[in-house]
Amino acid sequence: MTSSASVWCFASDAEREWWGESWAVRMTESSFAAHAIESGVANLADLKRMAAGWREWVQDLNGYPFP
């Protein structure tokens, strides 16, 4: 068995925009969203708030490295 790890860092404006917007869209327009709703762990209002949080993080110049 071999263990490994990796780290992603989305700190630049372009990186934050790409990562944050991709997750914002996933929150409401993907199979992730459908599964969250169908399984009862979130409703559409919850997912819209999460999408807004990702977009807020994108705009935060200090948004390093997590929302």
- How far is it, in rounded angstroms, from Cα 39 to Cα 42? 8
pLDDT of residue 67: 46
Q: How much of the chain, in percent, has pLDDT values that exceed 90?
A: 69
29-52 per-position pLDDT tens digit: 999 999 999 999 999 999 999 999
Q: Domain coordinates of the chain in residue numbers? A: 13-59
Enumerate the H helices of the chain as residue ranges. Answer: 13-29, 31-38, 44-59
